[in-house]
Amino acid sequence: MIRTISITLGIFAASAAPAQDDILKRAINQPGLNYNVSGAAQTTKRIKDSGVVGGQALRVQVSEKGPENYSVQAVSPLSKPIVKGHRIVVAVWARAPKLTGYATTPIPFFGVIGPAPGYATVASGPAQVGAVWKLYDVKGVAPSDFAADAATVVVHLAGAKAVIDLGPVFVIDLDAT
């Protein structure tokens, strides 16, 4: 009898719990590996890796530090508009698999920018990437409205000679309804 009551209470408590928000409903990009990598000092290939969400990554071999951090960059489009004043989170899975111990390599800038001219920054920051997979994130507030496909995720990779694996990228509008 006591067991039946506790099971019944457990079922009632579970059904009374508020529904959890599916954060991906607030995504303003197509989460995944839809990067376009550019720059002369790089080679890129898709790899399989069970250690990262989705099981695949993009391996970018940067053959030399660039004259500018954006000399090698990965760009990913945003498929939905951004509304002025909305809080935006950019999250990128990354690692530098050739490093050992606590060594890191820089990603001098990653985030969301608006179109030229101006390249208004929506959310940005640097990252020090180590040998193991980690989810890096930056947050910001949209300074203006951007139409769908106008703003992009940018990851500057020419901060050092390195091998960097990029996993899925997610851009979330925390204020989307």
Map out the domains of the chain as residue ranges.
21-173
**How far is residue 9's CA from residue 4's CA, in Å, rounded to a whole number?**
9
Q: What does the pLDDT read at residue 50?
A: 97
- What pLDDT shows up at residue 20? 57
- pLDDT in the model for residue 16: 43
Number of Cβ within a 10 Å radius of residue 177? 5
Q: What is the pTM of this model?
A: 0.86
Using alpha carbons, select from 136, 86, 131, 88 the residue that is nearest to residue 110.
136
pLDDT at 22 (0 to 100)? 85
Token pair recorded at residue 80: 């939905």
| pLDDT at 17 (0 to 100) | 44
Please give the CATH topology (third level) of the domain spanning 21-173.
Jelly Rolls (2.60.120)
CA-wise closest residue to 31 among 49, 62, 56, 59: 56
Q: What is the C-alpha separation between 45 and 5, in angstroms, rounded? A: 57
Give the type of residue at 173.
Answer: D
Predicted confidence (pLDDT) per residue in 104-148, tens digit: 999 999 999 999 889 999 999 999 999 999 999 999 999 999 999
Q: What are the structure tokens assigned to 94, written together? A: 């990354």
Q: What is the pLDDT of residue 15?
A: 39
pLDDT lower than 70: segments of the chain:
1-21
